[in-house]
Amino acid sequence: MNDSQYNLAADDILLAVEEAIEDCGCDIDYEGVGGLLTLTFKNSSKIIINKQAPLHEIWVATKFNGHHFHFENEQWVDKRGGGELWKFLSDAASKQAEENIVLSAQ
Name the nearest CA neighbour of 35 among 65, 83, 3: 3
Residue 38 sits in a domain of what CATH number?
Answer: 3.30.920.10
Would 51 be classed as within a structural domain? Answer: yes
What pLDDT digit, counting tens, does each position of 93-103 carry?
A: 999 999 899 89
Asked whether the beta carbons of 8 and 92 are under 8 A apart, the reply is no
pLDDT level of residue 73 (50, 70, 90 thresholds): confident
Would 84 be classed as within a structural domain? Answer: yes
Asked whether the beta carbons of 70 and 53 are under 8 A apart, the reply is no
Would 103 be classed as within a structural domain? Answer: no
Domain range for residue 81? 3-97
Orientation angle between helical segments 3-23 and 85-97, nearest 10 degrees: 40
Would 93 be classed as within a structural domain? Answer: yes
Would 57 be classed as within a structural domain? Answer: yes
Would 32 be classed as within a structural domain? Answer: yes
Q: What is the mean pLDDT of residues 69-74?
A: 91
Number of domains into which the chain is organized:
1
Would 34 be classed as within a structural domain? Answer: yes
Q: What is the pLDDT of residue 81?
A: 85
